[in-house]
Structure 1
Amino acid sequence: MFRYTLMRLGIFAGCLVVVWGLVYSGLVPRGLGDSNGIWIVLLALVVSAPISFVLLRGERDRASLQIVGRVDRMKANLDANRAQEDGADDVARKQSQAS
């Protein structure tokens, strides 16, 4: 997951540099008033999103499998804990009924 995040940030940083160069060379509009910095960041986000979606598909799938595995382990642990609690509760009820 960390690797995917770093790769995504790398793609964004590359797009940011390219967009910055395009804006300051005059090929892309500068934005309105003092919004130049925000314009560059937003444009870089818009450009980097589809690039990341296409280029990082495999890495995203691997990260997704890791997350699914963690969630499944957590669910199994919760079910095991519930089973232990149910067993302890059953034993306590049997003991109280025997008394």
Structure 2
Amino acid sequence: MLRYTLMRLGILVACLLAVWGLVYSGIAPRGLGSSNGMWIILLSLVISAPISFVALRKERDRASIQIVEKVDRVKANLDANRSQEDEAVDEAARARAQGQPS
């Protein structure tokens, strides 16, 4: 997951540098007034999103598999804990029914 995040950040930085170069060379339009910095950031985000979507497809799939495996492990642990708790409650109920202290 960290690898995917760093790759995505790298694409964003590359787009940011490219847009900055285009704006300051006059090829791309400048923002209005003092909004030039915000314009560069927003344009970089808009450009980097589809690039990341296409270029990082395999890495995103790997990251999602890791997340699914982790969620499955957590669910299995919760189910195991829940069944242990149910067994303890059942034993206590049987002990009370038989008149034994728990």
Common fold, TM-score beyond 0.5? yes
Deviation, 1:71, is 0.2
Deviation, 1:60, is 0.1
Deviation, 1:84, is 0.1
CA distance in 2, matches of 1:66, 1:7: 17
Q: Percent identity?
A: 70
Deviation, 1:7, is 0.2
2:29 aligned residue: 29
Supply the AA of the counterpart residue of 1:93.
A
Q: Tell me, which stretches of 5 or more residues in structure 1 are unaligned?
A: none
1:44 and 2:50 aligned: no
CA RMSD, Structure 1 to Structure 2 (Å): 0.4
SS state at 1:28 partner: coil
1:63 aligned residue: 63
1:73 aligned residue: 73
Supply the AA of the counterpart residue of 2:68.
V
CA distance in 1, matches of 2:23, 2:47: 14
CA distance in 2, matches of 1:56, 1:5: 10
1:92 and 2:102 aligned: no
Scaled by the length of structure 2, the TM-score of the pair is 0.96
